[in-house]
Amino acid sequence: GEAGGEGMFAGRPGRGRQPKPPPDPHARIVELVTLACESGGSAPDPELLRALKREVRADAVALRRAHDTLMDRCLRHRECGPRLHAVVIVDELFRRSRDFRDAHMERLDAFLRRAIVGRDSGADPSEAIPGPVEDADRLVSRACRALQEWNERFGAHYPRLGVALRFVDDVLGPAAPASIAERESREARRRDDEERARRLGRWRRCERERLPGLRRDAGEYAVAIGECLAILLGAKPSSNFEHDDEPDAADGDDDENDERWEDVDADEPDDSSPGGRDTDPTEPPPPPPLRTTPPGQPAGDVARLAGGDVRVAVTDDNRVVVDEVRRLCRAATVRVLPGLAEALALVAGIHSIPADHRSTPSSEGGGRVNDLSSVNDALSSESKAAAVNALARCKRTLRAAVDRCVALSVVAGSNPG
């Protein structure tokens, strides 16, 4: 019976079925990598990427499994979008983990074929970079940028990165990101040179044609405004703004008055007049200078404002001087100050050419030194600083004179400049 029983169950254990394989311990990692690469959009889904980082952190086996999934599944995808996302994830993990870097360096050639040079190297169709061309260009550009940054940061520890970068430049030729960046840099320098030359030409014309007149007018206006304000405030006689129809009393009476003068001791007042000197009763008294007066004085020379400031009002005695001050301030704010500000901005915006750029051969001259270097040398840093300081000082002086007129209410405060 026992023998028959053994014979009965001898052929039944398998029944043609294989034992069920054990569950994949890294199935979640494979799922996260696949979903992140196929999530669509311009970049991998940030939530999936954070979840993947948490799963592979401090686990070398999990990192290698994630790397294998990226290389064998995502970078073999038939569309450029998942491959681009795979490059982004590889770049992120490459920077963070030494174990991932070690795993990636072992398969760097496959990365180059599937992300950079696949379309130009006659590679296996499963590794060739798919279209369209715009998406393929974005993929290649992103992978080349990652490779260049890896070489800059980790090239000392992984010399193969430098070799791979030179290989990519040789294979792609003018389409290599390094070549494109060099062309863009040359074009940017050329535009800067042209703009610098235009600015320098405008400054030379301004310096030759407009600046002498502006600086002369600014100096004369500032002095004239100061003299007019001194007249209005009683600091000096109004010698420049006398009426033509008023006779000069001093010219005709000098001979008659000479005999009335006598030597008087400095400490002895003259009893003949309250002021300590003889006066001619028939001579009209000189006009009193403008002065501050207490509140309550009738409208006239000066009125004191609430804040203690002084305001000059127009009277018959000072109308000519006030009109001249207003004319000077109007000309200063409308023409001279804006002209000085424009010249100052023009010379301040001229930048010197870098030393390494001055000797750069021109693309059109076959090794000819840049012509702009000699032009720029004419405006050295010292001469530029001197021009800026002189213009700023001139503008500041004239602006202070106009502001003083505004403070005294001789002119309105809404003038430009």
CA dihedral 322, 225, 413, 297 (to 10 degrees): -50
Q: What's the pLDDT score for residue 202?
A: 87
343 within 8 A of 204, measured Cβ to Cβ:
no
Long-range contacts at 339-344 (CB < 8 A, ≥ 24 apart): 339/210, 339/214, 340/214, 340/215, 340/218, 340/391, 340/394, 340/395, 340/398, 341/395, 341/417, 342/206, 343/203, 343/206, 343/207, 343/210, 343/211, 343/214, 343/391, 344/388, 344/391, 344/392, 344/395
State residue 407's pLDDT score.
87
pTM summary value: 0.47
pLDDT of residue 1: 46
Helix (H) or strand (E) segment spanning residue 312: strand 310-312
Segments in the chain below pLDDT 50: 1-5, 7-9, 120-121, 237-279, 287-308, 354-377, 415-417
What is the model's pLDDT at position 282?
54
Looking at residue 156, its pLDDT comes to 93
How confident is the model over 398-408, as pLDDT tens digits?
A: 999 999 888 88
Q: What is the structure's pLDDT at 378?
A: 54
